[in-house]
Amino acid sequence: MSRTYELNIYCEDKPALKLMLDAAGYDDYVDASFDALDLSDQGSEAVIDTMLEREGSLPLTLYFESLEGRQECERCLADGELALRLERRDFDSKIWQTAWEEKEENFETDHFVVMVDDAPPTATAKHILKIRSQGAFGSGQHATTKAILRLMETERPSSPSACLDVGTGTGILAIAAEKLGYTQVVATDIEETAIASAQGNRSLNHASFSLILGSLPEGQQQFDLIVSNILPPVINNMLDDFFRRLKPGGRVILAGFNEANAATVHQDAQDAGFAFATQVSERGWLASAFDKPILRLGLY
């Protein structure tokens, strides 16, 4: 049975800690977040309250596939001059495989019904999104997916219109974009397993969107809508690219973060040039929409 090894790092000088982690190659930390994958909602809220009461802030969190990997990171931290407090936790890795799923098999939004592929058929006028559950990418039923779908369905694409889904995972958002009427949909992911999962779901839903292994499509094409359901550190690293690849007047919808991350994500997006539009919440997880101004510094 494989284990996942968690390291929570508390430090009063978070910017300096981030610089040290980045320099050591540990740039996949989760900032100001506590996912508590193996706890109930009430349990995770209790842990967060305890952390805030005791520390005044939430930690930076790293996850490792081996105990040795975590220990190596701890040795790197010990070589620095920052005052740190470390907390260690490990849990069954299979939790990751179900962390992105809700307890119910199907869920609905105003315009979509999301269902696993072996669920019984349902009579509805809504768009049906069938998703095969595949490992860490789940079945598209995590609260972040619900939240981002709720924002996507408020969009009214013109024709022609293009949508880019970055970090597609199961492909659920790309499938939804096609059903909403986007005439060109491109989905990307850096994981080959995610591409394979999205390919299967593309066929299952008789969709035709393009799939690309990588972060962004080559070239300079701009899109009317960009959607991305990924972790906050990755969002932050890609905001400038999102701004560049979005048409003036276009919209980016970001998800994959919780209420503890919201202020940081929103500030980073505005620093990149975006204007906040709206957001929705699902069980403490957020999806936020930002617009690219038609004019920026007097330039189109």
Compute mean pLDDT per 10 residues along the chain, 300 residues long, and list them.
82 88 83 43 47 57 88 92 90 54 64 78 82 54 84 88 94 95 95 89 95 93 95 85 96 88 89 96 89 69
Over the stretch 198-252, which tens digit does the pLDDT of each residue have? 999 999 999 999 999 999 999 999 999 999 998 777 888 899 999 999 999 999 9
Ranges in the chain annotated CATH 3.40.50.150: 107-292
User: Which two structure tokens, joined as six digits, stand for 151?
Assistant: 């924002």
Ranges in the chain annotated CATH 3.30.70: 4-97
Nearest C-alpha neighbor of 57 from the set 12, 88, 27: 12
Contact call for residues 113 and 126 (beta carbons, < 8 A): yes
Contact call for residues 47 and 36 (beta carbons, < 8 A): yes
User: Which two structure tokens, joined as six digits, stand for 104?
Assistant: 């119910």
Tokens 């022609």 belong to 160
For residue 297, report the phi and psi dihedrals to the nearest 5 degrees: 55, 35
pTM, full prediction: 0.66
Give the H or E element holding residue 200: helix 192-204
Class of domain 4-97: alpha beta
Segments of 126-219 assigned E as strands: 127-131, 162-166, 184-189, 210-213
Residue 162's identity, in one-letter code, is A
State the architecture of 107-292 in CATH terms: 3-Layer(aba) Sandwich (3.40)
